[in-house]
Chains A and B, each alone.
Chain A
Amino acid sequence: MSTKSQKWTEVIESKNSLFKIDLVELWRYKDLLYMLVKRDFVTFYKQTILGPLWFIIQPIIMTLTYVVIFGNIAGISTDGTPRFVFYLSGITFWSYFSETLNKVSTVFKDNASMLGKVYFPRLILPISIVISGLIKFFIQFFIFILFLFYYFKTGTIHPNYWILLTPFLIALIVTLSLGFGMLISSLTTKYKDLIFLITFGIQLLMFATPVLYPLSIIPSKYIFFIKLNPLTGIFECFRYGFFGNGDINLGLLFSSTIISIVILIIGVLIFNKVEKDFIDTV
Chain B
Amino acid sequence: MNNQTVIRAENISKLYRLGEVGTGTISHDLNRAWKKILGKEDPYLKIGQINDRNTNSPNDYVWSLQNINFEINQGDTVGIIGRNGAGKSTLLKLLSKVTKPTTGNFKLKGRIASLLEVGTGFHPEMTGRENIFLNGAILGMTKNEIKRKFDEIVDFAGVERYVDTPVKRYSSGMYVRLAFAVAANLESEILIVDEVLAVGDSEFQKKCLGKMSDISKGEGRTVLFVSHNISAVKNLCTKGLYLKNGENCGFGEIDTIINSYIRGGAEDLNISYKANKISKDTKAQIIEVKFRDDINTFNVFEEIYIDFKINVNQDIQGCTPMIIVYDSYQEIFKTFASDVDTQILKNWSIGEYNYSIKLPPIFKKGNYFINVEIGELMAYPVEFIGNALTFTVNENFQAEFKSYSSIRTGMVAYDIKWEKESIIKSK
Interface residues of A (CB under 8 A from B): 1-3, 6-14, 16, 28-29, 31-32, 34-36, 38-39, 42-43, 46-47, 114-120, 190-192, 276-277, 279-281
Q: List 28 A-B contacts (CB under 8 A).
A: A1-B3, A2-B5, A9-B109, A9-B110, A11-B105, A12-B94, A12-B95, A12-B100, A12-B101, A12-B106, A14-B103, A29-B140, A32-B140, A36-B134, A36-B137, A38-B130, A42-B126, A43-B123, A114-B138, A116-B93, A118-B96, A118-B138, A119-B98, A191-B26, A192-B22, A279-B93, A279-B98, A281-B21
Q: B97 at the A/B interface (Cβ < 8 Å)?
A: yes
Distance in angstroms from A189 CB to nearest chain B CB is: 10
Distance in angstroms from A115 CB to nearest chain B CB is: 7
Distance in angstroms from A25 CB to nearest chain B CB is: 10
Distance in angstroms from B211 CB to nearest chain A CB is: 19
Distance in angstroms from B361 CB to nearest chain A CB is: 45
The verdict on A190 contacting B25 (CB below 8 Å), with A12-B101, A118-B114, A279-B98 known, is yes
Interface residues of B (CB under 8 A from A): 3-5, 16-17, 21-22, 25-26, 29, 71, 73, 93-112, 114, 116-117, 120-121, 123, 125-126, 130, 133-134, 137-143, 166
Nearest neighbor of A281 in chain B, beta-carbon distance: B21
A34 to B134 alpha-carbon distance, docked (Å)? 9
Contacts of A39 in B (CB 8 A): 123, 126, 130, 134
The verdict on A11 contacting B25 (CB below 8 Å), with A35-B133, A118-B96, A279-B99 known, is no
Contact assessment for B97 and A12 in the assembled complex, using a CB-CB cutoff below 8 Å? yes
The verdict on A34 contacting B143 (CB below 8 Å), with A12-B97, A12-B106 known, is yes
The verdict on A8 contacting B22 (CB below 8 Å), with A14-B100, A39-B123, A39-B134 known, is no
Contacts of A2 in B (CB 8 A): 3-5, 71, 73
Contacts of A29 in B (CB 8 A): 137, 140
Nearest neighbor of B139 in chain A, beta-carbon distance: A118
Distance in angstroms from A129 CB to nearest chain B CB is: 15
A169 to B123 alpha-carbon distance, docked (Å)? 34
Partner of B100, one of A32, A35, A276: A276
Distance in angstroms from A133 CB to nearest chain B CB is: 18
Contacts of A8 in B (CB 8 A): 107-109
Contacts of B25 in A (CB 8 A): 190-191, 281
Which 9 residue pairs across A and B have the least CB separation, nearest first?
Answer: A32-B137, A119-B97, A12-B106, A2-B5, A31-B143, A8-B107, A117-B117, A35-B137, A10-B108
Distance in angstroms from B149 CB to nearest chain A CB is: 14
Contacts of B21 in A (CB 8 A): 280-281
Contacts of B112 in A (CB 8 A): 10
Contact assessment for A14 and B140 in the assembled complex, using a CB-CB cutoff below 8 Å? no
Contact assessment for B126 and A11 in the assembled complex, using a CB-CB cutoff below 8 Å? no
Contacts of A31 in B (CB 8 A): 137, 141-143
Contacts of A38 in B (CB 8 A): 130, 134
The verdict on A277 contacting B99 (CB below 8 Å), with A29-B137, A117-B120 known, is yes
Contact assessment for B100 and A16 in the assembled complex, using a CB-CB cutoff below 8 Å? yes
What 9 new A-B contacts, CB under 8 Å, besides A8-B109, A118-B96? Answer: A11-B107, A32-B137, A43-B125, A117-B116, A117-B117, A118-B121, A120-B138, A276-B99, A280-B99
Distance in angstroms from B408 CB to nearest chain A CB is: 39
Contacts of B139 in A (CB 8 A): 118
Contact assessment for B98 and A115 in the assembled complex, using a CB-CB cutoff below 8 Å? yes
Partner of A114, one of B16, B93, B101, B120: B120
Partner of A190, one of B22, B93, B99: B22
A47 to B126 alpha-carbon distance, docked (Å)? 11
Distance in angstroms from B262 CB to nearest chain A CB is: 30
Contact assessment for A42 and B130 in the assembled complex, using a CB-CB cutoff below 8 Å? yes
A191 to B29 alpha-carbon distance, docked (Å)? 11
Distance in angstroms from B422 CB to nearest chain A CB is: 61
Contacts of A46 in B (CB 8 A): 125-126, 166
Q: Which of A14, A16, A42, A118 has the most CB of B within 10 A?
A: A118
Nearest neighbor of A190 in chain B, beta-carbon distance: B25
Distance in angstroms from A122 CB to nearest chain B CB is: 10
Contact assessment for B94 and A6 in the assembled complex, using a CB-CB cutoff below 8 Å? no
Contacts of B137 in A (CB 8 A): 29, 31-32, 34-36
Partner of B16, one of A11, A117, A120, A280: A280
Distance in angstroms from A160 CB to nearest chain B CB is: 44
Distance in angstroms from B238 CB to nearest chain A CB is: 17
Partner of B105, one of A14, A119, A191: A14
A34 to B73 alpha-carbon distance, docked (Å)? 36
Nearest neighbor of B4 in chain A, beta-carbon distance: A2
Contact assessment for B108 and A6 in the assembled complex, using a CB-CB cutoff below 8 Å? no
A46 to B125 alpha-carbon distance, docked (Å)? 7
Contacts of A36 in B (CB 8 A): 134, 137
A46 to B166 alpha-carbon distance, docked (Å)? 10
Q: Which of A7, A42, A119 has the most CB of B within 10 A?
A: A119
Distance in angstroms from B23 CB to nearest chain A CB is: 10
A66 to B134 alpha-carbon distance, docked (Å)? 39
Distance in angstroms from A17 CB to nearest chain B CB is: 13
Contacts of A9 in B (CB 8 A): 108-111
Distance in angstroms from A16 CB to nearest chain B CB is: 7
A159 to B210 alpha-carbon distance, docked (Å)? 68
Contact assessment for B100 and A277 in the assembled complex, using a CB-CB cutoff below 8 Å? yes
Nearest neighbor of B183 in chain A, beta-carbon distance: A118
Contacts of A13 in B (CB 8 A): 100-101, 105
Nearest neighbor of B134 in chain A, beta-carbon distance: A35
A53 to B166 alpha-carbon distance, docked (Å)? 22
A7 to B109 alpha-carbon distance, docked (Å)? 7
Contact assessment for A14 and B104 in the assembled complex, using a CB-CB cutoff below 8 Å? yes
Contact assessment for B98 and A117 in the assembled complex, using a CB-CB cutoff below 8 Å? yes
Contacts of A3 in B (CB 8 A): 4
Distance in angstroms from B194 CB to nearest chain A CB is: 9
Distance in angstroms from A140 CB to nearest chain B CB is: 23
Contacts of A281 in B (CB 8 A): 17, 21-22, 25
A111 to B124 alpha-carbon distance, docked (Å)? 15
Contacts of B5 in A (CB 8 A): 2, 6
